[in-house]
Amino acid sequence: MGVFTWWAEGSEKLGLGELEKLFKEEYPNDTFVKLAVAGGAGSNAKARLEADLNNNNPPDSFQGHAGAELFDYIQAGQLQPVNDVIEGLGGSAVFPQDLLDLITVDGNIYSVPSNVHRSNMVWVNPAVLEKAGLGKEAPADLDAWIADMEKLKAAGVETPLAVATAPWTQLHLFESVLLSELGADQYNALFTDGDWNAPEVKAAAEKFGTLLSYANTGGADDWPAATDMVIDGRAAYNVMGDWAVAQFASRDIAEADYAYSPTPGTDGTFLFLADSFTLPVGAKNPDGAKDWLNLVGSAEGQQAFNIAKGSIPARTDVPASAFPTYQQSAMESFTNDTIASSITHGAAVETAWSADITTAVSRFASDRNVDGFVSALATAAQANR
């Protein structure tokens, strides 16, 4: 039974390892084949998966994001419904209805959610902040944050903000900046009928450019290396999804030695994404795949996996007390905050649209042409809505 993910290295591999261990214990007659392709956010895995699906050689289950990304696979006829699995697991009594809606088309449910991640988080090294006399409390908005970065520079901190060269990590930063400038309602409307030419989008583009001017231009290929810059004191901040907390944990960093907060200006909004697992059409071992889906969706599986992964359970009946401090705060925020959808991680827009946005972000990261960037974003919306 082959399971395809991009959780191939570091703390992500440890998270998947928890599920693998439980699967082997609970289903000793199944074999588990790990088909993992490294690269954060599926940056390499998705192309490989597409080729395998197009060649009628699907894995028995693969990782897909709840929301627009999953609808791509459903519309392409690549997934089988798994209503029976979800029902058996407890259905809407244990999974939030809003989340089920993101994986349902015409009454059919097409995946089993394993976890919920938060995108709009800044990971902070307080010892680096101290060099500029800055305390732990988070700046209220982007302008205050930029002012702090200026102080860090003046105090001799070469790289206030760590950013990786992988284009998705730059989009990841940009979606937080966009949310901060627009607020949740205007941000969410961008994916339906909102105006990408609005002055707030231009302001976000300008601030994104300013933030990049405080960032490293190389030296970190993907998110683990950028988060490590913060862990190792080579940068003060990294905006990254909360899988980053698992990186701190896997490197045995004590909770007292790092800090985190929502990206400045986004407090009160949970920028959402969720991983889920599928049953592809043509899976060679559908029974094994269903065993896997049952484990992924079980309370026991969700507890073990999410503690290691930095995420929170998709199920609502897993005790918060079993989790580290960060995840407890994320659970509270997920329950009480406004929800916005991540662009980078498949929740807000389908793959073609996010690819166009990524291209625009990458171009902007090198040419810093604000008007060109905003017009490329508006064109992408027009082409993909």
Which residues sit at the interface with ligand GAL, rule CB under 6 A? 6-7, 12, 40-42, 65, 117, 223, 241, 243, 273, 275, 345
Judge whether 215 and 159 are in contact, CB under 8 Å: yes
Minimum Å distance from CB 294 to ligand GAL? 20
Alpha helices in 55-118 (DSSP H): 68-75, 83-89, 97-101
Measure the CA–CA gap between 11 and 311, rounded to whole angstroms: 12
Q: 177: closest CA among 131, 151, 214?
A: 214
Minimum Å distance from CB 52 to ligand GAL? 18
Minimum Å distance from CB 358 to ligand GAL? 13
Judge whether 302 and 313 are in contact, CB under 8 Å: yes
Minimum Å distance from CB 65 to ligand GAL? 6
Nearest to ligand GAL of 129, 171 (CB atom): 171
Report which residue's Cβ sits closest to ligand GAL: 40
Minimum Å distance from CB 337 to ligand GAL? 19
Minimum Å distance from CB 345 to ligand GAL? 4
Nearest to ligand GAL of 128, 220 (CB atom): 220
Minimum Å distance from CB 40 to ligand GAL? 4
Nearest to ligand GAL of 170, 207 (CB atom): 170
- Positive/negative CA dihedral, 296, 299, 301, 305: positive
State the DSSP string of 244-265: HHHHHHHTT--GGG-EEEEPTT
Nearest to ligand GAL of 157, 225 (CB atom): 225
Q: What angle do CA 144, 214, 173 make, to 5 degrees?
A: 75
Nearest to ligand GAL of 60, 275 (CB atom): 275
Nearest to ligand GAL of 7, 237 (CB atom): 7
Nearest to ligand GAL of 2, 42 (CB atom): 42
CA-derived radius of gyration, the chain: 20
Q: Which two tokens stand for residue 136?
A: 């732990």
Minimum Å distance from CB 1 to ligand GAL? 21
119: Cα separation from own chain's centroid: 5
Judge whether 237 and 123 are in contact, CB under 8 Å: yes
SS3 state of residue 369: coil
301: Cα separation from own chain's centroid: 20
Q: 312: closest CA among 84, 142, 3, 95?
A: 95
Nearest to ligand GAL of 290, 345 (CB atom): 345
